[in-house]
Structure 1
Amino acid sequence: MANPHATFGGAIPEYYDKCLGPAQFDRFGAELAHRVPSDPRGDLLEVACGT
């Protein structure tokens, strides 16, 4: 029998998307956006593709 406390299901993904993810990563995204030039010269590789 699977442990229900170890399952990433139900409303947990929704709470992560709405609350935990932004609380952890918004400031890093804002800082990165601030550092990237608005008119980059050359190639730019997008690496924030999620899981």
Structure 2
Amino acid sequence: MAQPDERLRRIRRNNWVVFAILTAFVVAVFSYSFLHIGREARPEAAVSAPALP
């Protein structure tokens, strides 16, 4: 059976891995959100003004 110190070390390492994954997810969502807002704020001329016949 694993010693208490080894168990705590493994738990802490796993916690850091989960924390890193969640942090990367949050950063990705915020980045995507800000990029999307930027695209919406500057619409393309061809999309915003339809051609008149």
TM-score if structure 1 supplies the norm length? 0.31
Q: By percentage of residues, which structure has more helix?
A: 2
